[in-house]
Amino acid sequence: SQTIHQWPATLVQPVGSPLSLECTVEGTSNPNLYWYRQAAGRGLQLLFYSVGIGQISSEVPQNLSASRPQDRQFILSSKKLLLSDSGFYLCASRLAGLQYFGPGTRLTVT
Amino acid sequence: QKEVEQDPGPLSVPEGAIVSLNCTYSNSAFQYFMWYRQYSRKGPELLMYTYSSGNKEDGRFTAQVDKSSKYISLFIRDSQPSDSATYLCALGRNTGTASKLTFGTGTRLQVTL
């Protein structure tokens, strides 16, 4: 089975500051990885997905970016945060055709 | 129109009741159907999944899919306070090299003693 780690667990950042959220996966190799954002009352919104190192697909145009420097590492970044970037960020990994989620990072932009 | 519609609730039931959670969808391209359970401030956990129309049972949980009506349901029998959570339906399709899920907004369930 796989284990998905995310850090930090919570983060409070001022508007205009940079962002880096990290996701790492144990127990599998070459997984498809996903970044989602969950806002209240809006369900989960797919932001990015990756099928391999250096391969990133963006689903929603915004001021966020993603990178995959290693097989089991997925990073979500921003150069300048907006208030609207607040939310619960979830990393997911696909195993045997099914998506499993990490514990999430709660981001508050003030 | 959203691709997946789910009543947000909240839904409050007494312990021991049968719970029915539902989603409707508009895109017939969806190939597989999942239910996730999410406790407050936690990541969603996969509860049930199915690839075809019909029923799939796992303990107290039954997932039902009706592709002709574009309707999926999750039934919880003998509900327990520990079932209190938000339940998310997720519908998937394979697109090229990746699979993608489209989620409902979630139904918040409260099981009371």
When CB atoms are compared, the residue of A41, A99, A102 closest to B101 is A99
Q: Which residues of A touch B101 (CB under 8 A)?
A: 44, 46, 99
pLDDT at A95 (0 to 100)? 86
Whether residue B98 is predicted with pLDDT greater than 80 in this model: the reply is: no
Q: Which of B32, B99, B103 has the CB atom closest to A43's CB atom?
A: B103
- Give A101's contacts in chain B (Cβ within 8 Å): 36, 43-45
Quick one: which H or E segment has residue A2?
none
Q: Secondary structure of A62-88 in the HEC alphabet?
A: CCEEEEEEECCEEEEEECCCCHHHCEE
Nearest CA to CA, how far is A101 from chain B (Å)?
6
Tens digit of pLDDT for each residue in A25-76? 999 989 999 999 998 767 899 999 999 999 999 988 688 999 999 999 999 9
- Tens-place pLDDT, residues B16-53: 999 999 999 999 999 999 999 999 999 999 999 999 89
Given a contact cutoff of 8 angstroms between Cβ atoms, the answer to whether B77 and B46 are in contact is no
Residue B96 has pLDDT above 80, yes or no: no
Distance of CA A26 to the CA centre of its chain: 16
Contact A98 B41 (CB under 8 A): no
- Of B102, B99, B100, the residue nearest B90 (C-alpha): B102
> Above pLDDT 70, what percent of chain B?
99
Q: What pLDDT was estimated at residue A10?
A: 97
With 90 as the cut, is the pLDDT of residue B77 above it? yes
Q: Is the pLDDT of residue B7 over 90?
A: no
Q: Does the beta-carbon distance from B100 to A42 stay under 8 Å?
A: no
